[in-house]
Structure 1
């Protein structure tokens, strides 16, 4: 993908700040659940509620040239997300509020509790912040077979900002109310979770389409790399690689094919109004 000259001011870089440390506590169950949440999604507070603790912080260090370059790349992506979503919201009579982006390594604190690198990128609705440990993208390639490219990063970040869009539209709050009401079975809540994640994929596709219309930043292979990443983090692929079998009733993020389809639909239509995954999945 082509870099633009724009940079956002809502990116906080905590790498090298001495905030890392070894995690203790939580138990094997927490680690297993965290491994599932590793990929692209959701609010980790339920996993973290058991209370993970930090050991003594590591020493501060200077960021490498490559790490500084990554920060500039994330600042660019953040700006282009803000520009595109401000335009889309304005066209629909709404006001867009920028999320915060935090880069960290190992461990940091979030509004949803302690964040650790093994969880991968996630959005916390409590503080409207996307948390990203960039080591995730190496894991994405080595463990789940998706090639890590610049546009892979762009897709993942756009997916997490898609969860921010859901918070601004009230979708996140509605899903949380449904979860706390006790009126829905675990299987029903899993379907609602899948619809939530697929809509974030759809929003990522809308962002890619609208941003490319404005900046012409896509290059051959970019959309394919996003679809490859979407497929890699499908529940069926993760379960098969992790356990050797697939349990569809336990899906929370959607099948690989579904994730690709909804990202593609967002990209093909470029229209936020076409992304009602709840209506289609919960019939």
Structure 2
């Protein structure tokens, strides 16, 4: 999508952190990181032992002021504009479901960083950490999305990633995550249902985005085009379990899925795009309808 040039963006939800060193890792507790792209599994990165350690948290730096014109040219401003639009959308939408809304924040980092879930590196891809209610993104992931996994790229492909992780925040604060068995895997597992719902929430935001206004009453974004939707669907497809398994191991193993197939991820994004959040209850549909 394209930002309106004169849209004024609140950048306070996004900060950039430099490379961190000397992350203290301790034992105890399981690492609850929701929204890791399955990329981490195939790169041999095991984060499960990183929780429970003392964190040497590095303060983030402001990314400065941004306008819509800046967001169309600069990745940090684009993420800030996306965050501002998402925050405005969910602050209005979620109370209709009887849930009090509270915002999240996004930390941009390079290489590695400390989080409320333990230490993280760029290898894990963008993720949402429930304990500190924060989204973490190494923006080099967007290059990987294109060069390694074949996404067409484009601004909306990048924004889809942010909206998906914001969807995990909505699941967290609304209690959807409570009581789920996230250790189970497979096409009908709770883990897959959670990820598909986050895709659906991302689609719901995209469908509403042209009507979401800044504090000045200016639409954040211009109407979405079919080509831009195709970019987002390309990103959803690129991180499907089946596609990543095939590209990394040469075979597809459905029983190991944690995020859903490319087709499933595209279909649920489209469901949200057309039907809004009401179309996103992946936990009520039968397994053969996922």
Structure 1 unaligned residues grouped into runs of 5+? 25-33, 58-62, 180-184
| Alpha-carbon distance in structure 2 between the residues aligned to 1:23 and 1:111 | 12
Q: Counterparts of 1:66-105 in structure 2 under 5 Å?
A: 69-105=74-110
| Alpha-carbon distance in structure 2 between the residues aligned to 1:146 and 1:21 | 34
Q: Tell me which protein shows more helix as a share of its residues.
A: 1
The reply on whether 1:12 has 2:15 as its aligned counterpart is yes
Counterpart in the other structure of 1:28: none
Contact 1:121 1:133 in 2 (8 A): yes
Counterpart in the other structure of 2:246: 240
Q: Counterparts of 1:1-283 in structure 2 under 5 Å?
A: 1-4=1-4, 5-8=7-10, 9-14=12-17, 17-19=18-20, 36-38=38-40, 46=48, 48-49=50-51, 69-175=74-180, 178-179=181-182, 186-187=184-185, 191-214=189-212, 215=219, 216-270=222-276, 272-282=277-287
TM-score (norm 1): 0.79
Change (3 A) 1:105 1:281: farther
| Pairwise CA distance, 1:221 | 1.0
* 1:144 counterpart SS class: coil
TM-score (norm 2): 0.77
Q: Deviations over 1:28-87 (max 9, x none)?
A: xxxxxx883449xxxx85263598x99xx9xxxxx9xx9993221111111000011111
Contact 1:21 1:107 in 2 (8 A): no
* 2:285 counterpart SS class: helix
* 2:120 counterpart SS class: strand
* 1:277 counterpart SS class: coil
Change (3 A) 1:153 1:47: farther
Q: Deviations over 1:172-207 (max 9, x none)?
A: 2322xx45xxxxx84579711000000000000011
Greater Cα shift, 272-281 or 221-230: 272-281
Structure 2 unaligned residues grouped into runs of 5+? 26-35, 59-63, 65-69, 213-218
* 1:101 counterpart SS class: strand
User: Post-superposition, which runs of at least 4 consecutive aligned residues in structure 1 deviate over 6 A?
Assistant: 21-24
Aligned residues: 253
Q: CA RMSD of the aligned region, Å?
A: 3.3
| Alpha-carbon distance in structure 2 between the residues aligned to 1:141 and 1:23 | 33
Contact 1:108 1:115 in 2 (8 A): yes
* 2:128 counterpart SS class: strand
